[in-house]
A and B are shown apart, each in its own frame.
Chain A
Amino acid sequence: QVQLQESGPGLVKPSETLSLTCTVSGGSISSYYWSWIRQPPGKGLEWIGYIYYSGSTNYNPSLKSRVTISVDTSKNQFSLKLSSVTAADTAVYYCARGVEDTAMVDTFLDYWGQGTLVTVSS
């Protein structure tokens, strides 16, 4: 059974960089779209971006200038860095696995981590 687990600081100061890691167990990190999604308290889901196992990335245009997603296949991990954070970046951050349905070329998120709350505050 594939499992994803987010890790990283729960508190980040304004203007600093938020850094999270997602560790994948029970399966290979190859051939999938490794994604980050966030959810501000009481609000809906916002897609941040993904990295394909080969290293190609796609980001939410509204966050693109501040986001970097990377992958370490040797450790079965992928990471998120979000720079210049403000209180608006306070959210539960989820990592998830994106799978391409080869019949339709639809891509969906089939496994998710439990989420980690990151608060931006001085």
Chain B
Amino acid sequence: DIQMTQSPSSLSASVGDRVTITCRASQSISSYLNWYQQKPGKAPKLLIYAASSLQSGVPSRFSGSGSGTDFTLTISSLQPEDFATYYCQQSYITQWTFGQGTKVEIK
């Protein structure tokens, strides 16, 4: 199976900061990479699909990039509602896998 490794596991940031989260796949997954946001007690929410496509209704401050094994989720200007845990997920092979998550906390 394909292992997905996110870094960092957690980070502290202030409102207005630019935040970058990295996801690395154990083998090439082309652009079959999705990003989700999860707030406490809530279901995950799709942010980015196919590595860089913004899901409808998601603010444009969220962006995704990368292909192959290395991917990035960027929040251009962190807002109070963005404090949450973020997960990447690959669908390159039929056994899907998630990264372990990155928790974004208030500094």
- B97 and chain A: residue at smallest CB distance: A47
Stretch from A13-21, A70-78, A83-91, A111-119 contacting the other chain: A111-119
- Are B49 and A108 neighbours in the complex by a CB distance under 8 Å? yes
For residue A107, CB closer than 8 A to chain B, the reply is yes
Stretch from B13-21, B75-83, B87-95 contacting the other chain: B87-95
A13 to B42, CA, bound (A): 26
Task: Write the residues of chain B forming the contact surface with A, with a CB cutoff of 8 angstroms.
Answer: 1, 30-34, 36, 38, 42-46, 49-51, 53, 55, 87, 89, 91, 94-101
- For residues 92 through 122 of chain A, which have their beta carbon under 8 Å from a beta carbon of chain B? 94, 96, 98, 101, 103-110, 112-115
- Are B50 and A106 neighbours in the complex by a CB distance under 8 Å? yes
24 CB contacts below 8 A, A to B, read A44-B99, A44-B101, A47-B97, A58-B94, A94-B43, A96-B43, A98-B91, A101-B50, A104-B31, A104-B50, A106-B31, A106-B33, A106-B49, A106-B51, A107-B91, A108-B34, A108-B50, A108-B91, A109-B36, A109-B46, A109-B89, A110-B46, A112-B43, A115-B43
Q: Which of B31, B44, B46, B51 contacts A45 (CB 8 A)?
A: B44
In the assembled complex, which residues on chain B have CB atoms less than 8 Å from the CB atom of A109? 34, 36, 44, 46, 89
For chain A, the bracket of interface size reads 20 to 34
For residue A30, CB closer than 8 A to chain B, the reply is no
In the assembled complex, which residues on chain A have CB atoms less than 8 Å from the CB atom of B53? 101
For residue A60, CB closer than 8 A to chain B, the reply is yes
For residue A26, CB closer than 8 A to chain B, the reply is no
- Are A47 and B98 neighbours in the complex by a CB distance under 8 Å? yes
A105 to B46, CA, bound (A): 17
In the assembled complex, which residues on chain A have CB atoms less than 8 Å from the CB atom of B34? 106, 108-109
A61 to B50, CA, bound (A): 24
* A57-81 vs B, Cβ < 8 Å mask (1 yes, 0 no): 0111100000000000000000000
A115 to B38, CA, bound (A): 12
